[in-house]
A and B are shown apart, each in its own frame.
Chain A
């Protein structure tokens, strides 16, 4: 080892080594922050792992100096610059040729803007290939010739088309790209294209749903209403739904909060809320020990926040919002309409009945969502009975089917009598199974009598669906009583 060093220890070798070291230092470990003196801002290379995970790349604005060019352009901290775009106006043949030459540099492609046509991206396969386009004119520049077999020939450019400008879009992968590209564009007016870090926002939206904090409601509603990004809107409405789910457990959490403990006797709490909370993973129930224990960390923390969340949601704005967005005419995304229906099902606002029936009756809506509207109505319960009966009477087969099912879930004498009447007088075989099922669900004495009458009527008919279904109903009832 020592020997080798002495060998290199000659003047020209040491120069070589020093330069090699310099190359290594700059090549392998380049600085990942940079202060852009011209734009007066600090930028940082985005970590490479994010590039792989969200297929985003670029440099992040860390800080802009007040009154500097970046600051005046209102570039904000945290924005991810992923493209630098330069525009070359074309006023004569010389403009055109030099613009193309510059734009093709490095990345072999440019965007051509022709009058009254969408922008065209033209890419060369190899450096030095011909674009295949010649132009003529001064002041206004038009296409003169298109050479066959070139990239230009594969587009819908026509001779005589007016050339407006050439745009050069450079994707920024690294800080080195940034420096190089900006150095090149230094004399042109240019534009930064920034990329929203959707992944971060989606994670934030999901987390806000899980945290159950009242402060999240307004920003989530705002995002839901105004974002153009479907994944964000969907995330926002799902988180709002989660907040609604949490808010209806307020009585349960208040029981813990007022006692200021995390464990209570299970039988002292409302059974249904207890079950929902267990399903949501907020507490554990031990029936043998008769204990309900809030799960740390979320369950134990949430009891402090529960009341505020409940109060806010109880003001009714979310119910109103959901009623609006269950309409297919307003919300084209079915997943969002579903989430809104689910929210209404939990909040049970009487004011939503008409909007729900409209969804239920809407032939343009997909069957699953119409059914979900029926489900939400049955969750509202008694107040929805009259409207459901009307829908049942005047509706098409699907409407009848869904309404009957919802009436069966709600129960009560009024719903029951109407269902029995329909079963005994209806000629529509399509909804008979639903009627039998709905009546069986009510299951009181008059209901069972009605079903027995049906069974007698179908005595001879072993093959009919209704008969098989009735047999099934009575068999399961027998099993239950045993």
Chain B
């Protein structure tokens, strides 16, 4: 079975090679080498390739993937940012030409790149897809990634969802909240982190419930300590209406997350926390208490 697939892939690849334009082929040949100068030349080839065939998804993608000073006018002050935007746009154009393939590639491949600029360009492209492309499909791919068994995919998906959520919490927060029930602990962990990065007060009840589950009657209802700890951190990032929830944790003497809540509140600088903190200082020191029995 596997062999048939490989054969099929090879055939498709051969057909692809046959139809692909010469500049694209030349550019791809050039980037096989790691040398910087060749990369510049390759980028030029990709540009030429696009002149021949404006909807070449691969040329757009590669143009976005490889940075070129010449291409992005380096003499402006916001060069770095402009470059990332321009690269993100190229990746988005690749997506527009071949939606399914490049959506998957961006989420599961491009984001995994070590180069921070490439990650940011992919983020830019995915934001564009969210606004102008097939949003439903994008969200389902991101959910697939955050549920993945691969740590990189989960991490990348949480990062993207955090950014998308910051702009559109109404859509993203319910998705993330639903993920808090996912069976994979690492997925829940990333969903919590993402909710912190979104920073929307909408997420407070779900996070508070998760934190409180630590004192649930049955063990199966209790969330793992790591997740609960991150949920406290997330409340700290949300701030505002999350402050009373954090204060509640500080006041819950049986909670192991008091330290985390105190730290989160200290960063927020809210004076509402001063009284509970002073109360915490008044707690008894270590001592022996004799219990009289009748």
**Which residues on A are within 8 Å of B, measured CB to CB?**
28-33, 39, 44-53, 60-62, 69-70, 72-79, 85, 187-197, 199-201, 203-208, 210-213, 215-216, 219, 223, 227-229, 297-298, 301-302, 305
Contacts and interface: CB of A to CB of B under 8 A. Distances in A.
9 contacts: A31-B217, A47-B254, A47-B256, A49-B257, A191-B291, A196-B285, A206-B266, A207-B262, A297-B268
Given A47-B255, A200-B280, A192 B269 contact: no
Interface centre among A188, A227, A298 (most CB of B within 10 A): A298
A74 B287 CA distance: 12
Contacts of A49: 225-226, 228-229, 256-257
B73 interface: no
B189 to A, nearest CB: 14
Nearest to A195: B286
Contacts of A305: 271
Given A191-B291, A194-B289, A203-B263, A211 B274 contact: yes
Nearest to A28: B219
A223 B278 CA distance: 11
Nearest to B262: A203
* Main DSSP-derived SS at the A contact region: mixed
Given A47-B256, A85-B288, A297 B278 contact: no
Given A29-B218, A200-B259, A211-B266, 6 more contacts: A70-B291, A197-B283, A204-B281, A206-B262, A207-B265, A216-B278
B7 interface: no
A191 B256 contact: no
A375 B198 CA distance: 47
Contacts of A206: 262-263, 266
Contacts of A60: 253-254
A207 B243 CA distance: 14
A203 B283 CA distance: 13
Nearest to A61: B253
Contacts of B229: 49
B75 interface: no
B258 to A, nearest CB: 5
Interface in B220-251: 220-221, 225-226, 228-229, 239
Contact of B277 (A32, A61, A207, A302): A207
A285 to B, nearest CB: 19
B214 A201 contact: no
B70 to A, nearest CB: 29
Contacts of A53: 256, 259
B280 A201 contact: yes
Contacts of B285: 196, 227-229
A63 to B, nearest CB: 10
A199 B254 CA distance: 14
A51 to B, nearest CB: 8
B215 A211 contact: no
A76 B228 CA distance: 27
Given A49-B225, A223-B281, A301 B271 contact: yes
Contact of A208 (B258, B277, B292): B277
Given A47-B214, A194-B289, A199-B259, A219 B269 contact: no
Nearest to B278: A219
A208 B274 contact: yes
Nearest to B293: A189
Contact of B284 (A50, A194, A228): A194
Given A31-B217, A74-B289, A193-B288, A46 B254 contact: yes
B215 A44 contact: yes
Interface string B171-207: 0000000000000000000000000000000000000
Given A32-B217, A206-B266, A223-B281, A69 B293 contact: yes
B271 A189 contact: no
Contacts of B293: 69, 187-190
Contacts of B291: 39, 69-70, 73, 75, 189-192
A276 to B, nearest CB: 18
Interface centre among B226, B257, B274 (most CB of A within 10 A): B274
A236 to B, nearest CB: 9
B270 interface: yes
Nearest to B214: A47
A61 B254 CA distance: 8
Contacts of A212: 269
A203 B258 contact: yes
Nearest to A229: B285
B116 interface: no
Contacts of A298: 267-269
A200 B262 contact: yes
A45 B215 CA distance: 9
A46 B256 CA distance: 7
Contact of A210 (B218, B220, B269, B278): B269
B268 A203 contact: no
B283 A196 contact: yes
Given A191-B289, A192-B289, A297 B256 contact: no
Nearest to B269: A298
Contact of A78 (B214, B278, B283, B288): B283
Q: Which 4 A-B pairs have the closest CB atoms?
A: A50-B256, A49-B225, A47-B256, A207-B266
A388 B214 CA distance: 61
